[in-house]
Structure 1
Amino acid sequence: MAEPTDSRVAVYLDFDNIVISWYDRVHGRNAYAKDRQRISEQPNDPEVAERLSQAMIEVGAIIDYAASFGTLVLTRAYADWSSPVNAVYRSQLVARAVDLVQLFPAAAYAKNGADIRLAVDAVEDMFRLPDLTHVVIVAGDSDYVPLAQRCKRLGRYVIGVGVAGSTAKSLAAACDEFEAYDSLSGVVRPVKAPAPAATPPAAEVPVETTAAPAETTADAPKAKSRSRVKAKSAPAEAAPPKLDEQGEATQLLERALRLGHDKGDADEWLHSSAVKTHMRRMDPSFSEKALGYRSFSDFLKSRDDMAELEETGHERLVRLRDH
């Protein structure tokens, strides 16, 4: 029998959501929408089978990650299991004691209503199992934001798992902790195809033009008026470039360090673990592993122009550099 102090975890997987999101992550934006009809009509086609194989989900990686928070008391996966895309996972899901919930779409290519069914089951389970401490939501849809908020209000620690680039930021912010599926142990991140080389612009071919007749005196004022209008119209300012994941992480680190210094002395050293915790509170989707770093210390070292790291024994201290 488990000890009363043990953490008890419930896992809810919107399986269609995670499978489609990962398919798009591997094969490109909206790839599944383009291939959907072909997948449903020709699941045994060699090319279709190969593309599905390349975008297979590592179910074990998700369940192992959820198990790191405590004892798994229930694990449910919601999907249309008659679909060829999902059917290939049935054996390994059953082998991991996952309860498969069958959902049928209301119409062809329609949503299967997993978000509503999943949310209803999760709320019911929290009242039925008062000793439940953690709720893991494996999805990326913003429709799950109210569920995450309700779980937190009912005293549960909420963990989100979603595919990077396909998860709503509002869902990540609503969770106590969020982990990108890409960064889970055992998941092989897709390799981006090299960008095609830019083709040089075609050489301009000079075109002979005949001289236009001189403007008459009556047309001259109109020409001047047009030239004044053109001179007044200034070019529109270009929008600032959108930050990538690395840039957003750098800004997040700077904000966390500044807030930490604001609470104490400006030159005070901060524990790196406290800084990371603060960053995760501000943005639960932050993960140094998802950004390609083995540890948070490596992440800090990559920002040494902004953050100063001091390693003394087992202690890691960090502070904002003076600029």
Structure 2
Amino acid sequence: MADDSTRLAVLIDADNTSAKLIKEMFEELASYGTITVKRAYGDWTNPHLNGWRDVLLGNAISPQQQFAYTYGKNATDSALIIDAMDLLYSGNVDGFAIVSSDSDFTPLATRLRESGKRVIGVGQRKTPKAFVEACERFLFLEVLAAEGKGTTEEAKEDQQPRPIQSVLSKALNKVDTDDDDWATLSALGNHLNRTDPSFDPRNYGFGKLSDLVKAQPFIETKTEVGSGGRGHLSVRLKGRRAAEEAPASKPAKKATTRSTAKKSAAKAARKVAAKVQGEPE
């Protein structure tokens, strides 16, 4: 998450995005910084975009008119990309939110990140993986819709993209830990977002990552209170320490076996010597 000093430009591909969840989207993006630019691109003469009128006015979004010069070609994409590059070189924003489910914006997201800017994608689950991966963070509109209506058990099942045990176990095996294998929740969250920009606890029916990990039977958690009185949550996989310590007992077992073998060999040698000397065993 970003602080209020982070300036964001929100660029919306209206031809490719529904106007129904714009309010929820802006509420979500507000947690990443201060939104200083809000623009929506489309051919506003097209009746298909009539539903945007009240949304544009109610959210102070500046409509950018772009006529479709050639049938079958999306001129809106080009206009959005040109404006994004102008904003990049102006130096007036720190990050971009690109609202679209179109993979054509993949090169743009890549270019903006190469310039050190934050890129947050917003789109539907049908968004091609290439565009999702090109963003630092990707928010699914379906998640925002489910959160607004209240997530049902059916919605939770529909939202789960990957088995959560596999996701969290792999992440905890990669993050930095202390000597007892405890990792901080923030380190886990950062790793998850780096490896999967679309990772969101709400995909699994939880509002926060802390609630998600606490609910998993294969994870241990502990809370430590810092000097400022604020609690810090740490997590680790259950049974990891026991599994790592188990091999340490094997050498002792081997040593016992070797000692027994030596005693048996010594006893056999004494028997042989006694026979040679004609002494009773």
TM-score by length of 2: 0.71
Uncovered stretches (5+) of structure 2, i.e. residues with no partner: 226-230, 241-281
String of CA shifts for 1:80-100, please: whole Å, max 9, x gaps.
223333212212212322111
Deviation at 1:151, TM superposition (A): 0.7
Cα pair 1:17 1:139 within 8 Å, conserved:
yes
Structure 1 residues 170 and 189: alpha-carbon distance in aligned structure 2, compared to 1, 3 A threshold: farther
**Structure ID, larger Rg:** 2
Distance 1:190 1:264 in 2: 33
Query: Number of paired residues?
Result: 229
Which of 44, 52, 58 is the aligned partner of 1:89? 52
Deviation at 1:68, TM superposition (A): 2.9
Q: Which runs of at least 4 in structure 1 moved beyond 4 Å after TM superposition?
A: 189-194, 263-266
Identity of aligned residues (%): 31
Deviation at 1:12, TM superposition (A): 0.5
Q: Alignment RMSD, CA only?
A: 2.9
Cα pair 2:161 2:203 within 8 Å, conserved:
no
Cα pair 1:249 1:286 within 8 Å, conserved:
no
Summarize the alignment of residues 1-323 of structure 1 with structure 2, pairs less than 5 Å apart. 6-19=5-18, 57-106=20-69, 110-128=72-90, 130-163=91-124, 165-184=125-144, 187-188=148-149, 245-260=160-175, 263-264=176-177, 267-305=180-218, 307-312=219-224, 314-322=231-239
Cα pair 2:21 2:144 within 8 Å, conserved:
no
Distance 1:113 1:187 in 2: 33
- SS class of match (1:319): strand
Structure 1 residues 249 and 142: alpha-carbon distance in aligned structure 2, compared to 1, 3 A threshold: farther
* Greater relative CO (CA pairs within 8 A, separation 6+): 1
Letter in 1 for 2:15: D
Distance 2:34 2:5 in 1: 7
String of CA shifts for 1:90-135, please: whole Å, max 9, x gaps.
1221232211122333566x3433222211110111112x131011
Deviation at 1:189, TM superposition (A): 7.4
Letter in 1 for 2:194: R
Distance 2:197 2:139 in 1: 8
TM-score by length of 1: 0.63
Letter in 1 for 2:39: R
Structure 1 residues 296 and 71: alpha-carbon distance in aligned structure 2, compared to 1, 3 A threshold: closer
Uncovered stretches (5+) of structure 1, i.e. residues with no partner: 20-55, 195-243
